[in-house]
Amino acid sequence: METVDDFFFFFFFFFFFPFKREGTMALPAADVKFLLSIAQRMGERHLHVYVPGARRSAIAIVLRFGDAEQQRAAHRLLACRDAGLSSLQLLQPLTSAANTAVQSSLCMLFVRRADLAADRWSGNVTFPGGRRDAGDTSDLRAVQREVGQMLGMPLHSKEFILLGRLRDYPIRSRHVQAVRAVQSRFVFLHTGDMTPTVRFARHEVDAVQWVPINALTVEHVDGGSLCHPIGCFVHASNADARLLLAEVFSHAHLAFPSVQLPGQWRVWGLALRSASELLSLDDRASIDWPLVSSNNLWLQHLIIDAFHGYYEALYTFYRVRARLRFTDTAVKTKYMVLPPTADSILWGVPERVVLRHFFFFCFDVALLFFAIYFVAAMIFTASIVFRTALGWIDVDGGKERSTAYYAENAHSLVDSMQIRHQRRGGRVNDAAAMRRNTTLPSMEATGPSPPSPHPTTMPLERAT
C-alpha cells in the first residue's frame, strides 16, 4: 500500500511539476520572449521580405540555447509539433518553462571563412551561407544546400525550426558592379543535440563559434579599430576613380564598427548589420550606428555625416507619421514606426537625431540647390549670348525705345492731326465765305447773267 502511495506521489510530482526537479531545465524568460518577438514580427512582414535582384545569395542565422540542459528542455518541448503550424505557434510551448530568474544563454552561430588568396571574403567572420545557383528553386533551398555543403548541418530536418526571414538586403560592394546583388537572410532555431555533427568544408570554412547574443550590445562595440583605405572600396577596373581618390582623399581611411569575439574573432560589416537588425525586432538598441566614419574631415562631414543625417531625417518622418496615425503608445517601438518596405538601414537608426548629421545633411541639400541655381543661371546666360550673337536680340534696345516713345506721344500726335484738320477746314470755310461775299452783290445788281456760249472758259474770264 505504501508502494502505491509512493507511486502516485511521484507521478503527481513529476507530471504537474516537471521543471521543479532541476533548476537548469527552466528556460530564460528573456530568451523565450526574444524568440517569440522575432517570430511574430517576421511572420507579420513575410509578404514584404523579397527584394528582386539578378545576383542572389542566402545566409542562415542559427540560434540555440547555450546551456545543455536548456537545449534538451527545448528539444522535449518542441519535439511533438505539427508541421502545419506557424513558427509563433510552434514556440508557444516554451512559455511554460520560462523563468525570469534564469540568465540568458541564447547563442548565435558565426563562421570564419578560410584564409585563401582567391577568396575576397577570406578570413571574414560571417554567417553560413553562399550564392544561389541556377538549380536552386528558391532562396531557402539555396541556403539549405550551402549550409549543408559548408558545415554538414541539415537545416531541412526537424532539429531546425525556421523562425522567419528578414527583408532581403541589397549588397553595396566594390566587387559588385552593374549587377544588383541581394542577400536573403533566414533565421533558424536549433533544437537538436548540443554539439551537432559539423563537417567543415576546409576550402570555405576555417572554424565555427557560438556567440551569446548578450555579447552583441553597444557596450561591446568598437567603432574605430577596424579601418580600410578608401581605395579598397572602389572597383579594381575603375582606375580613374582610384587615381582621383588618391589625389583628393590621400591617406583617407574608413572605420567600421565591430565586435570583438573570443578567439580574436571580429564581426563587422553585413554580418553585424544583420545581427543588429535581428536584435532590433525585440526592441533592442542598435549596435552598428554610425555605419562608417573617416579620418578625412571633408569626407566625414560632407558625405558620411550627410548620409547618416538623411536616414535619421527619414526615420523621424516615419515616426511623426506613425504618431499622427496612431495614438497608441506602441508607436514608440521601431517595429511600429517603420513600414514593411522600409530600407534595412533604417533599423540601425537611433531614436534621437544626431545634430551634426542633420546639420551636414541640410548643408548638402543647400549646396545642391545652389549648384542647380548656378547651372541654370549659366545656361540662361549662355543662351542670351548665343541669341545676341545671331542677332535675335536687340542689344541697343531701339525697338523698346520706339515703342515707349509712341506709347507716350500717341495722344499728342492725334491732337496735332486734329488741330491741323480743323485749321484746314477753317481756311476752306473762310475762302468760301469770301467768294460768297464777292459774288452775291453783282448778282443782285445785274441779275442773272445769260448763259455763256463757252461755259468752260467762264472761270478763267472771272479770274482775269
Chain segment 153-184, per-residue pLDDT in tens: 999 998 999 999 999 999 876 555 546 899 99
Please name every residue paired with 64 in a beta bridge, in sequence order, or none if there are none.
107
Question: pLDDT for 329-344, tens place per residue?
Answer: 556 788 889 999 999 9
Domain of 100?
Answer: 17-212
Examine residue 248 and state whether it is found in any structural domain, yes or no.
no
H helices of 282-354, in order, are 297-299, 306-325, 334-337
Residue 250 placed within a domain = no
What are the C-alpha distances in Å from 276 to residues 15, 287, 361? 40, 6, 24
Tally of domains in the chain: 1
Q: Provide the whole-model pTM.
A: 0.76
Q: Please determine, for residue 434, whether its predicted confidence score (pLDDT) is greater than 80.
A: no
**Who has greater pLDDT, 350 or 80?**
350
Whether 100 maps to a domain, the answer reads yes
Residue 255 placed within a domain: no
- For the cut 60, the answer to whether the pLDDT of residue 71 exceeds it is yes
Largest CA distance in the chain: 184
Q: Is 25 helix (H, G, I), strand (E, B) or coil?
A: helix
- Which pLDDT value is given to residue 458? 45
C-alpha cell at 61: 542565422
Q: Output the DSSP codes for 202-251.
A: TTTEEEEEEEEGGGSSGGGEEEEEEEEEGGGGS-TT-HHHHHHHHHHSTT
In a domain, 114, yes or no: yes
CA atoms of 218 and 231, how far apart (whole Å): 29
pLDDT above 90: percentage of residues in the chain: 47
Within-domain flag for 339: no
User: What pLDDT, in 10s, does the model give residues 250-283?
Assistant: 788 899 999 998 888 899 999 999 999 999 999 9
Q: Do the domain assignments include residue 293?
A: no
- 281-294 average pLDDT score: 91
CATH of the domain at 172: 3.90.79.10
The per-residue pLDDT for 172 is 73
For residue 427, being part of any structural domain is answered with no
**pLDDT > 90? residue 137:** yes
